[in-house]
């Protein structure tokens, strides 16, 4: 059917599976169950998705899909970077840790968010929001209550889905106005689409007086602009973010798709351990509470020593998506100098750490990067930072990998074969 073709071209390849994920996400969020009132729950008639009355259901499903994808991205990005270490004997997970992911590796490209897939889950979330925006543009205020507010929210989440696809992947694919996938796009082009969606959300949120989504989109656009090299624009957005603002990706124990993925993979299942560079961090001789980790004294089945993070103590702990803290660090990076020193010290005092002092521009910039590493620990930022700052990772490329082979130096993920082989505009 047409929807299945569209989803396949968008990189998911599983239209019916996507609809089932939508239903699960919505039900776990407490939304209505009108889509289940069909003869065969495994096949959802398209007219149900085209009913304006189901707009809230589609929005909740899109947010649920994004939050699950985001959790997987946080963990996978942490493994590729040096925030986390794989502690399993599951060979198809090792390329993340070894930093040599290939387009033919199926886990990252095809697996669900529960199994640390990222491309299909993020593509699904992106399609969900773009599909909803298309429908909301065609529906009227009389048909959909709070239509403008729903559009604002969908625009912001679409922005974040595009942002993660742009930050984490070496290249991407964009959807046209008919939700058809195009050919290969550069990372910059994917990030530019993210900026477009954030700009739309900012305009809509300002018109509606929606402070929550306005701040969410401002942080998202500031981050995107920084990735694109628009430092002045990034700082301008960051300065508009309300003090102490936090937008969380929610979590719950009602379903595996809703769990905090960091806690599940590290604390609960011990599939990963906290990376060596994040153990025992101090500043001025004081332990840094922002990177609070614990040595369990136990080894995983592959011999890896298990250190656990304490930032997300339960499977229901939310993960920050957009924060005033991130906005402040963007200002610090762009402005540098004593403005940056003042921001660093404000964050230090909040954490109970000694002040930082320097007048050397290079030293201040290094400290800003270090502050990002600590303040945004396991928040899904580090992989993007590795690429943007060209950070050296440990162990270094060429070092023998304990489970076989050697560490690579590929920080971004290749466009997976599920996209290349199923997208007629790319081909094999």
Residue 13 placed within a domain: yes
Say if CB 425 and CB 180 are below 8 A apart: no
Q: Is 298 within 8 Å of 306 (Cβ atoms)?
A: yes
Domain membership of residue 139 (yes or no) is: yes
Residue 352 CB burial class (10 angstroms; 0-12, 13-18, ≥19):
exposed
Ordered per-residue pLDDT tens for the chain, 428 residues: 333 333 333 333 333 334 434 443 443 333 333 222 333 333 445 666 789 999 999 999 999 999 999 999 999 999 999 999 999 999 999 999 999 999 999 999 999 999 999 999 999 999 999 999 999 999 999 999 999 999 999 999 999 999 999 999 999 999 999 999 999 999 999 999 999 999 999 999 999 999 999 999 999 999 999 999 999 999 999 999 999 999 999 999 999 999 999 999 999 999 999 999 999 999 999 999 999 999 999 999 999 999 999 999 999 999 999 999 999 999 999 999 999 999 999 999 999 999 999 999 999 999 999 999 999 999 999 999 999 999 999 999 999 999 999 999 988 999 999 999 989 999 64
Number of domains present in the structure of the chain: 1
Residue 102 in domain: yes
Domain assignment present for residue 77? The answer is: yes
Nearest to 222 by CA among 323, 129, 152, 126: 323
Give domain status of residue 310, yes or no. no
In angstroms, rounded to a whole number, what is the distance separating the alpha carbons of residues 210 and 133?
18
Asked if the structure places residue 272 within a domain, the reply is no
Rounded-to-integer distance, Cα 385 and Cα 387, Å: 5
Domain assignment present for 414: yes
Q: What is the pLDDT of residue 308?
A: 98
CA distance 22 to 125: 10
Q: What is the pLDDT of residue 410?
A: 86
57 domain residue, yes or no? yes
Pick the closest to residue 160 from 82, 112, 222, 109 (CA basis).
222
Start-to-end CA distance of the chain, whole Å, equals: 23
What integer pLDDT is reported at residue 46 of this predicted model? 61
Q: Which domain holds residue 112?
A: 2-252+318-422
pLDDT at 175: 96
Give the pLDDT confidence score for residue 100 in this predicted structure: 96
Give the CA angle between residues 165, 169, 173 to the nearest 5°: 60
CATH of the domain at 410: 1.25.40.390
């Amino acid at each position: 059917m047409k929807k299945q073709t569209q989803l396949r071209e968008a990189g998911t390849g599983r239209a019916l599976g996507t609809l089932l994920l939508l239903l699960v996400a919505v039900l776990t969020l407490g939304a209505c169950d009108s889509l289940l009132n069909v003869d065969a729950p495994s096949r959802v008639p398209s007219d149900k998705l085209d009913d304006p009355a189901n707009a809230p259901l589609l929005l909740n499903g899109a947010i649920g899909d994004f939050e699950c994808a985001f959790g997987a991205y946080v963990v996978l990005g942490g493994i590729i970077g040096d925030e986390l270490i794989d502690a399993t004997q599951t060979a198809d997970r090792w390329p993340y840790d070894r930093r040599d992911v290939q387009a033919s590796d199926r886990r990252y490209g095809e697996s669900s968010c529960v199994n640390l897939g990222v491309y299909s889950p993020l593509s699904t979330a992106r399609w969900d929001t773009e599909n909803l925006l298309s429908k909301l543009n065609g529906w009227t205020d009389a048909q959909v209550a709070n239509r403008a507010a729903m559009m604002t929210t969908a625009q912001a989440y679409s922005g974040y889905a595009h942002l993660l696809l742009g930050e984490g992947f070496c290249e991407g694919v964009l959807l046209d106005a008919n939700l058809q996938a195009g050919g290969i796009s550069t990372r910059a082009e994917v990030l530019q689409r993210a900026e477009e969606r954030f700009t739309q959300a900012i305009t809509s949120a300002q018109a509606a007086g929606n402070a929550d989504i306005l701040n969410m989109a401002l942080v998202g656009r500031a981050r995107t602009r920084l990735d694109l090299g628009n430092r002045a624009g990034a700082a301008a957005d960051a300065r508009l973010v309300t003090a102490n603002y936090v937008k969380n990706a929610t979590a719950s124990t009602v379903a595996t798709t809703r769990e905090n993925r960091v806690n599940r993979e590290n604390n609960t299942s011990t599939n990963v351990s906290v990376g060596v560079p994040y153990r025992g961090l101090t500043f001025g001789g004081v332990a840094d509470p922002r990177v609070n980790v614990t040595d369990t004294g136990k080894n995983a089945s592959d011999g890896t020593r298990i250190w656990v993070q304490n930032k997300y103590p339960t499977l229901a702990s939310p993960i920050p998506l957009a924060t005033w803290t991130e906005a402040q660090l963007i200002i610090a990076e762009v402005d540098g100098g004593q403005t940056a020193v003042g921001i660093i010290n404000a964050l230090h005092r909040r954490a109970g750490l000694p002040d930082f002092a320097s007048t050397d521009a290079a030293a201040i910039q290094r400290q800003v990067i270090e502050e990002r590493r600590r303040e945004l620990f396991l928040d899904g930022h580090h992989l993007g930072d590795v690429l943007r700052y060209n950070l050296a990772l440990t162990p270094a490329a060429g070092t023998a990998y304990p489970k076989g082979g050697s560490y690579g130096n590929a920080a971004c993920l290749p466009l997976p074969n599920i996209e290349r082989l199923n997208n007629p505009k790319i081909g094999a």
